[in-house]
Structure 1
Amino acid sequence: MAGSGSGGSEGVAGGKSRFDDIYDRPDPRAYFARLAPLDYEIPHHAQPVLRRTATERTALDDGLPGRPVVLDLCCSYGINAALLNHEVTLAEMYDRYTSRTARSMSTAELTFWDREFYAARRRADAVPVIGLDVSAPAVHYALAAGLLDAAFHDDLEQAPPGPRLTGALADVGLITLTGGGSYVTARTFTALLDRVRRPVWVSAFVLRTVSYRPIERTLAAHGLRTTVDASRTYPQRLFTDERERQYAIEAVRSLGGDPTGREEAGRFHSVCYESRPGPPA
């Protein structure tokens, strides 16, 4: 589970470039500076989908007190929470964090600047969001900037959730994911779903280079039915080089997809999997 799902710096995982170094910084400036040239855009495409889904889930009377909470998995610096709950676009965030003003600030100054910025743009229909990511610096910044109501850096691929996260999971009604499908497995979803208490929905944007079937099976075992419109894809980012492009083309084909006009044209593409309580199709 690394960041908001784009991957790490100089290394390569299964042919996909990694950007691990941009997730261990104390603030998001390196994240936006590194991903801007690659036109990393999946949070932009997810924004209207997640807003709609969060509204629908919040309106659902599940018979339990309080409001259901959104858990953003692989949340990094709280990008999805910013876009979900505030009048801001991803393009504005790129401009903000790569600006001369932002570059001149200390992390403490940037945090204060962000708290004021997001507080002034908080939507009336904002929902509680907690974030989970293995990068402690990233989630701590998102919490300090006022984007998250709670932040956790448990690595559920390696160990079960700690007491704090376990307690927080009781209120989760929606799990979101926009790119971390390359890094989390059914192990993480099992750890989460074994501990939730509300009916949980899942909205996951997953690269076409990755099989979601093991996670679908885990969701089904917990009473969730998953649907997907495989014909509707969402561009994620440009490839870093030709090697990565070839990897993606081959990976999509190996999973039965057609890279024509998508990966062959130079970008990773994702599809959106929606899971709701219900019997299998």
Structure 2
Amino acid sequence: MATDRHRTRTASGKTRFDDIYDRPDPRTYFRTLAPYEYEIPQHAQAVFRRTRDLRARLAGAEGSVTILDVCCSYGINAALLNHDLTLADLYAHYTSDEAAALTPAELVERDKEFYASRRRADASPVIGLDTAENATRYALDAGLLDEAYAENLERHPPSRELRRAVARTGLITVTGGIGYITHRTFGALLDSARLPVWVSAFVLRTVPYGPIADTLAAHGLDTVTDTSRTYTQRLFTSPEERAEALRQVTLAGEDPAGHEAEGRYHTRLHESRPRTA
């Protein structure tokens, strides 16, 4: 497994990969994360499809459910949701010698065709939100996102355009952002909601979700946590990262045995839906 001793860490001890999140395209992202077997988007694929389909059955729902993917990065969740592809397919696609030989502009042109030829009949409109302007622009240009907003709701209120987009949203998804974003982002989004909004979030067991669940509850959403299983995110980058993760999981009241103690970050799935009574 590759290691990078030059990377810095967050206050929680988690290795930072800031240099891969805002490139003109996802090639560095996939090359960097491949040795650590980053896999949470693959777990999310079936969950998000199932949750979207359930949301579409609501009384009064018309047409496709519009999804807002928070911390969308290069549109990976949208790629897996709306196309006949696996995460392994994306790793192969972006780490190939053929991809390495292309300019960013050439890659985008190739990717438009790549995704268009694999588009599912049940594809849903996806809006992307991320602070990474280059990444969201790539996802938009490649046809993965219908709209993209490079905004930081932790620091600034949403733009008028983003508020209008959220007003059309029926499902908010997130796989890798909790810990980087807080209840402030979710509060700003829910303040702009006009339809019944569901939230489906995969959250590391090292990160508390309570403040976000409280904010969702204040907006009329009840949260149910799937305690029956966990979903692996990636391998630890170092013994130091592993030790800190075990410490934080234990402090959170979780047992790392059989999970983080085996060498990977684990997440739990939190599903929030409007209160019915």
Q: Quick one: which of 11, 36, 54 aligns to 2:34?
A: 36
1:232-262 CA-partner distances (Å, limit 9, x unpaired): 1000000000000001000100000000011
CA distance in 1, matches of 2:171, 2:107: 30
The aligned residue for residue 226 of structure 1 is: 223
Residue 139 of structure 1 and its aligned partner are, at CA, apart by 0.4
Q: Quick one: which of 8, 23, 28 aligns to 1:25?
A: 23
Q: SS at the partner of 1:151?
A: strand
Residue 143 of structure 1 and its aligned partner are, at CA, apart by 0.3
Q: Quick one: which of 186, 189, 204 aligns to 2:186?
A: 189
Q: SS at the partner of 2:266?
A: strand
The aligned residue for residue 266 of structure 1 is: 263
Q: Which moved more, 1:41-50 or 1:224-233?
A: 224-233
CA distance in 2, matches of 1:66, 1:163: 24
The aligned residue for residue 58 of structure 2 is: 60
User: Partner letter of residue 73 of structure 1?
Assistant: V
Contact 1:238/1:266 (CA < 8 Å) preserved in 2?
yes
User: Partner letter of residue 52 of structure 2?
Assistant: A
Contact 1:226/1:276 (CA < 8 Å) preserved in 2?
yes
CA distance in 2, matches of 1:229, 1:131: 25
The aligned residue for residue 139 of structure 1 is: 136
CA distance in 2, matches of 1:84, 1:211: 27
Contact 1:235/1:270 (CA < 8 Å) preserved in 2?
yes
Residue 279 of structure 1 and its aligned partner are, at CA, apart by 5.5
CA distance in 2, matches of 1:45, 1:67: 22
1:128 matched to 2:120: no
The aligned residue for residue 91 of structure 1 is: 88
Q: Quick one: which of 244, 248, 254 aligns to 1:257?
A: 254
Q: SS at the partner of 1:236?
A: strand
TM-score (norm 1): 0.94
Q: SS at the partner of 1:33?
A: helix
User: Partner letter of residue 35 of structure 1?
Assistant: L
Residue 56 of structure 1 and its aligned partner are, at CA, apart by 1.5
Q: Which moved more, 1:143-152 or 1:229-238?
A: 229-238
Contact 2:80/2:87 (CA < 8 Å) preserved in 1?
yes
1:46 matched to 2:44: yes
4+ runs of 1 displaced by more than 6 Å?
Answer: none
The aligned residue for residue 152 of structure 2 is: 155
Q: Quick one: which of 99, 103, 114 aligns to 2:100?
A: 103
Q: SS at the partner of 1:72?
A: strand
Q: SS at the partner of 2:73?
A: coil
Residue 55 of structure 1 and its aligned partner are, at CA, apart by 1.4
1:34-60 CA-partner distances (Å, limit 9, x unpaired): 000000000011110001111111232
Contact 2:52/2:65 (CA < 8 Å) preserved in 1?
no
CA distance in 2, matches of 1:102, 1:55: 34
Contact 1:225/1:279 (CA < 8 Å) preserved in 2?
no
The aligned residue for residue 67 of structure 2 is: 70
Gaps of 5+ in 2: 1-5
User: Partner letter of residue 205 of structure 2?
Assistant: R
Contact 1:224/1:279 (CA < 8 Å) preserved in 2?
no
The aligned residue for residue 11 of structure 1 is: 8
Q: SS at the partner of 2:222?
A: strand
Identity rate, percent: 59
TM-score (norm 2): 0.95
The aligned residue for residue 164 of structure 1 is: 161
